[in-house]
Amino acid sequence: MAHSKKALSRFMTADMGRTNQTDFYVYSSNHTLAEVISAGFFNDSRTTIGAGDVVLAMIDKDGSPAFVVLTFASVPDTGDVTVKLESPVLGQANVADLALTPVTGVDGAGSNAASAADVDARFASVQATVNALIANLETAGVNAPA
């Protein structure tokens, strides 16, 4: 599927003189990350975008909304426009979602006593969240296994 050209909006240009400029865009879509970063997704905008231009995108708005930063890796005259994911996927399994309270007194003593099972349960929660974050990054092609 192709993107909606109307949803890709330039909001700023950083101009270093003559043809040395970088355009910044915002984009909002119900497409998933996998669709947005697929080769050819932005082909319909090849006449207005350039390699190195930056996109701040809100994706998968009707599913699991997430914010990503992309750059256009290549914008050939023919063939597929390609993008590069420049940021972690924010909003899906996000490190900010880890709201842990301190666990002390693992031996069951003290004013904030916690059992070893409490510590193990909190660690399992953190581990599950981190694994979900890694899975999102691998889906996006970041930190892919060898």
Mean pLDDT within 84-106: 58
| Residue 43: per-residue pLDDT | 94
The confidence score (pLDDT) of residue 47 equals 92
pLDDT at 99 over 70: no
- Mean pLDDT, rounded, for 1-18: 83
Share of the chain above pLDDT 70, in %: 64
Q: Where are the domains of the chain?
A: 1-90, 93-146
For residue 136, give Cα distances in angstroms to 51, 59, 85, 86.
25, 13, 12, 14
